[in-house]
Structure 1
Amino acid sequence: MTLAKQQCEACHADAPKVSDQELADLIKEIPDWVPQVRDGVMMLEREYKFKNYKLAWAFSNKVSELAEAEFHHPSILLEWGKVTVTWWTHAIGGLHRNDFICAAKTDSML
């Protein structure tokens, strides 16, 4: 089953982070996302471009609705013609499978 069709699972502080091998395998399904490390925390980030602010705003609202539906919340930076979305799992301070699921679902909203 593709990542975009999966559901996030409840995550807790002792949930496992994705391994290096899982990262390598999962990132193949979301090739436009870039693993980033900020303050020692691994995250997934992607920048989306739009023709204007209104389209970017509408997309950021869709991402917000996804976040509420999955009860998994990213960082969303809204700019003129651009939205940057960053997924990571706050509870574990890194990447969980949920982040890859939500990244794939974010892509499917285009």
Structure 2
Amino acid sequence: MSNLENARCEACHADAPQVSDEELKELMREIPDWTPVTNDNVMMLQREFKFKNFKQALAFTNRVGDLAEEEKHHPELVTEWGKVTVTWWTHAINGLHKNDFIMAAKTDSVVDA
């Protein structure tokens, strides 16, 4: 279990700092199955989860949605037959904040729930 999984998201504003390169390396150690990606010059965290069928993928999507509502931090979720792609970033700062790493860890915790 990651320390991030037990952390809570903090309110984030447009002037909040993005994670530094050093923080990125350190935080990625706690969520090794996630990949930093850049889309439209915005750094994001992304992971694809595989499932046996659409029903399992949809159930996982709903669990992630419940987490997002609890923490008031919402991802991009792409649900397809047998897989869900989850992408986290902080819209207010157009990049990565510690909240994104917290939510990635929490997402990992509900994959087999």
Same fold (TM over 0.5): yes
Partners of 1:74 and 1:14 lie apart in 2 by 20
Give the deviation of 1:56 after TM superposition. Answer: 0.2
Aligned identity (percent) is: 66
Amino acid at match of 2:47: R
Aligned to 2:25: 24
Aligned to 1:91: 92
Count of aligned pairs between the two proteins? 110
Aligned to 2:61: 60
Q: TM-score, normalised by structure 2?
A: 0.96
Give the deviation of 1:27 after TM superposition. Answer: 0.3
Aligned to 1:47: 48
SS in 2 for 1:15: coil
Partners of 1:109 and 1:65 lie apart in 2 by 10
Aligned to 1:35: 36
RMSD: 0.8
Partners of 1:88 and 1:24 lie apart in 2 by 16
Partners of 1:80 and 1:26 lie apart in 2 by 30
Partners of 1:35 and 1:89 lie apart in 2 by 13
Amino acid at match of 1:6: A
Structure 2 alignment gaps of length 5 or more = none
Partners of 1:18 and 1:52 lie apart in 2 by 36
Structure 1 alignment gaps of length 5 or more = none
Q: TM-score, normalised by structure 1?
A: 0.99
Give the deviation of 1:85 after TM superposition. Answer: 0.2
